[in-house]
């Protein structure tokens, strides 16, 4: 029984025919492996396919069904036709993909204008591997259909990867998107970034695969915040207007009235004398009797200082109008470069 998936190599030598049959078999094995995992294909499988496709270089055969004029088809330098004459490994423009009804299940189509591979699954061409490169402005993204879901497109200007979900474009999983500011110690080495220095007419990429002028509500369309000209700290808020808010001196609250006068309330204790105040007589041991004291007489001893008991001073304030708080004082900081992801 003739296998419809085995090419007809009747015009080649036995050795070339055997080599190509083995190569073709490897393509089918690889296709079976790929179909067993979710799309898109892994880089390892893409490399495997590329390695197999480059193992043999033979003259491409014309496919009468797809190319009545005799133009060659297939992976560059290689093309196969099965016993029924339909292509199994094909190449051409995306718009020239053959009808699924006239192609063999498991066929591979390489779109030369996209650098992308498709495989025929369940009667429809499905995106399999590869990333098309181009720009979103000017727009070189392809016009796709629902069955092309998973298709990847890399924009070389903004350096973002987009994914077609069958109905619309969006940033591909893993892409960091746009519209945020990050700090750098040097100019960013990858991606497209704009320094926040007040530059005008700046555009950014959008998730739908287009671009537009950056938009900050307090600035003209396309104008970047000037963070390098007016260094500042970020503050969480409900919206980013693009305006650098001016520094404001902090205020002092409380009683700052001037009440410098005040009368102490309380009492001073009476001085207390300690010592010999004023004796009326002095013992005279020589005479054996007291002798009257003849004044003047100076007491011997000390007088204690008065002790105040009470409220030493009424409530006392100084006017705060002469206090100054500097707005130039800064916390410890590190100067960095603020860049906006486009």
The conformational region for residue 133 under phi > 0 = left, psi -120 to 50 = alpha, else beta, is beta
Average pLDDT, the chain: 76
User: What proportions of the chain, in percent to the nearest 5, are helix, strand and coil?
Assistant: 15, 25, 60
H-only helix segments in the chain: 14-35, 43-53
| pLDDT higher than 90, residue 244 | yes
| pLDDT higher than 70, residue 7 | no
Report the largest interatomic distance among the alpha carbons of the chain, rounded to a whole angstrom: 169
Task: Report d(CA 303, CA 305) in Å as an integer.
Answer: 7
C-alpha of 291 from chain center: 109
Task: Report d(CA 231, CA 182) in Å as an integer.
Answer: 14
Mean pLDDT for 8-28 is 61
pLDDT value for 85: 37
pLDDT in tens, 73-128: 333 333 444 333 344 578 899 999 988 887 777 788 889 999 999 988 888 999 99
Whether the Cβ atoms of residue 193 and residue 179 lie closer than 8 Å to each other: no
Task: Report d(CA 340, CA 298) in Å as an integer.
Answer: 95
Sketch the domain layout of the chain as residue ranges: 14-129
């Amino acid at each position: 029984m003739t296998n419809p998936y085995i090419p007809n190599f009747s015009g080649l030598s036995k050795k070339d025919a055997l080599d190509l049959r083995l190569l073709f078999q490897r393509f089918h094995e690889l296709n079976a492996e790929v179909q067993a995992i979710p799309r898109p294909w892994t880089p390892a499988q893409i490399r495997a396919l590329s390695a197999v496709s480059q193992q043999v270089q033979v003259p491409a055969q014309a496919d009468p069904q797809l190319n009545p004029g005799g133009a060659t088809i297939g992976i560059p330098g290689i093309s196969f036709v099965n016993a029924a004459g339909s292509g199994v490994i094909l190449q051409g423009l995306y718009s020239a993909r053959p009808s699924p009804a006239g192609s063999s299940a498991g066929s591979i189509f390489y779109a030369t204008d996209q650098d992308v591979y498709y495989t025929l699954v369940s009667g429809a061409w499905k995106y399999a591997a590869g990333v098309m490169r181009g720009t979103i402005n000017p727009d070189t993204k392809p016009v796709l259909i629902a069955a092309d879901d998973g298709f990847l497109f890399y924009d070389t200007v903004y350096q973002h990867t987009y994914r077609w979900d069958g109905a619309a474009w969006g940033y591909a999983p893993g892409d960091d998107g746009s519209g945020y500011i990050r700090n750098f110690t040097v100019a960013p080495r990858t991606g497209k970034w704009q320094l926040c220095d007040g530059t005008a007419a700046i555009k950014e990429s959008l998730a739908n695969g287009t671009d537009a002028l950056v938009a900050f509500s307090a600035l003209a369309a396309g104008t970047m915040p000037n963070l390098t000209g007016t260094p500042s700290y970020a503050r969480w808020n409900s919206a980013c207007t693009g305006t650098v808010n001016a520094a404001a001196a902090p205020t002092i609250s409380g009683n700052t009235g001037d009440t410098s006068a005040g009368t102490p309330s309380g009492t001073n204790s009476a001085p207390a004398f300690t010592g010999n105040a004023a004796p009326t007589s002095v013992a005279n041991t020589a005479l054996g009797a007291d002798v009257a004291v003849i004044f003047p007489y100076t007491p011997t001893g000390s007088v204690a200082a008065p002790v105040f008991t009470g409220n030493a001073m009424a409530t006392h304030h100084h006017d705060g109008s002469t206090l100054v708080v500097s707005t130039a004082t800064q916390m410890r900081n590190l100067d960095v470069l603020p860049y906006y992801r486009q």
